[in-house]
Amino acid sequence: MDKQNTLFAQRLFLVLAGIFIASLVTCNLIFQKFFSWSPFGLYTFELSVGILPYPITFLITDLISEIYGKRRANQVVLAGLMASVFVMGVILIAEYVPATTWSPVNDQTFTKVFQLTGVAVFASMVAYLLAQLLDIRIFHYWKQKTNGRHLWLRNNFSTFSSQFADTAIVLILLSVAGAIEWSRFWLLLFNGVLFKWLVALLDTPLLYFVTWFLRRKFGLAPGEDIDNKQS
């Protein structure tokens, strides 16, 4: 690649990593609110609002895996893990510091909103790390098996497997911690997995378009990524 495209690739990577980390952290901060959604009246989902930005993380890791390579994707996953640990630490400190008498948010309100965030972050970190590494491994396994063809196959196979694992692990840990009633476990598991799978199917055309555009811009052959091209 020429210097201009190399600079663009570096900036794009930072933007993608930033969106990835922001989506991940947001999931853990807003997860306690639940909503129902009935698309076209066909089925009623009961979901945590934390699930809304989460599929973006898998789309981004697949995109980074496809364009930048496995090494860069793993780096983003670890950066997201460190960001989650940092946020949990800040919240724990903020919980410990007493509010002033004139504070718009008093200690009770703050505790009510964030008291389960530590539990959520821990559950999310365990599930997230396993699911994202599984996603990247499966993605590259199918990429090698198909010689870089059939992007839809590796995108959906990796996402379906990893998001099922992620949803199940998070719900198990939250249920054990008492954050979610066990009676709601199977319904939330089914709704969460179904929602994530539908989003994964819907974002496949977007992934195809973006990868096609970036491959053309960076001069990448089918199955080639920037790390391989530069090595």
Please give the pLDDT value at position 183. Answer: 83
Alpha-carbon distance of 125 to 84, in angstroms, equals 7
Alpha-carbon distance of 4 to 13, in angstroms, equals 14
Which of these, 35, 22, 34, lies nearest to 83 by C-alpha position? 22
Query: Which stretch of DSSP H or E encloses residue 37?
Result: strand 34-37
**Contact in structure between 5 and 64 (CB atoms under 8 Å):** no
First-to-last alpha carbon distance for the chain, in angstroms, is 12
Alpha-carbon distance of 141 to 182, in angstroms, equals 35
pLDDT 10s digits, 138-158: 777 777 777 767 676 776 677
Domains and CATH numbers, the chain: 3-230 (1.10.1760)
Q: pTM of this prediction?
A: 0.79
**Contact in structure between 171 and 180 (CB atoms under 8 Å):** yes
Torsion, CA 21, CA 143, CA 163, CA 61, rounded to 10: 10
Please give the pLDDT value at position 227. Answer: 80
**Tokens found for residue 141:** 């396994």
pLDDT 10s digits, 174-191: 787 776 788 888 888 888
pLDDT under 70 in the chain at which residues? Answer: 1, 116-121, 124, 128, 132, 148, 150, 152, 155-156, 179, 230-231
Residue 37 backbone dihedrals phi, psi, to 5 degrees: -145, 130
Alpha-carbon distance of 29 to 27, in angstroms, equals 6
Instruction: List the beta strands (DSSP E) in 44-134.
Output: 45-48
Alpha-carbon distance of 163 to 165, in angstroms, equals 5
